[in-house]
Structure 1
């Protein structure tokens, strides 16, 4: 499972969004994630991938940008 698929699964599990509704280019707000929800998602991602992403860098427009950010921090971790 690649990064974007893992993040999609987290969104399904934590926020009850249907998997078939999640698309890489849709804004996170379209899934009902307000700013607090996005912070909760970031914490879940950090825990799941064992990375630390600074809050100032976590402001992304969509799922693809979020996956790219996680991939970048995972590469730094290794």
Structure 2
């Protein structure tokens, strides 16, 4: 894990903030294990979320990988693995 990425808790906080911004949900209201579709994720917002995550963490998230990232927890694990 790079110093730029941070600890798991820091990554999760940043992911929650990004998800909240993209989906117009308060970051504190997002359950890390809940399906993002339950917060309103659809195809256009999934694309925007992927772009924001790539920028924030400096990782590449291919379309097939992005389709498998359905929760904040899954995104955090992906970012940790790719950093």
Shorter-chain TM-score tier: 0.7 to 0.9
Alignment correspondent of 1:22: 30
Cα RMSD of the aligned pairs, angstroms, is: 1.4
> Which of structures 1 and 2 has the larger relative contact order (alpha carbons within 8 angstroms, sep 6+)?
2
Give the direction of change, closer, same or farther, for the CA distance of 1:13–1:61 in structure 2 (3 Å limit): closer
Q: Name the structure 1 match of 2:6.
A: none
Report the TM-score, using the length of structure 2 for normalisation: 0.78
Aligned residue pairs total: 74
Q: Which has the higher helix share?
A: 1
Normalized against structure 1, the TM-score is what? 0.82
Can you give the 5+ residue segments of structure 2 that lack an aligned partner in the other structure? 1-8
Runs of 4+ in structure 1 deviating by more than 3 angstroms, as ranges, are none
Cα deviation, residue 34, structure 1: 0.7
* Counterpart-to-counterpart distance in 2, 1:36 and 1:26: 19
1:52 aligns with 2:37: no
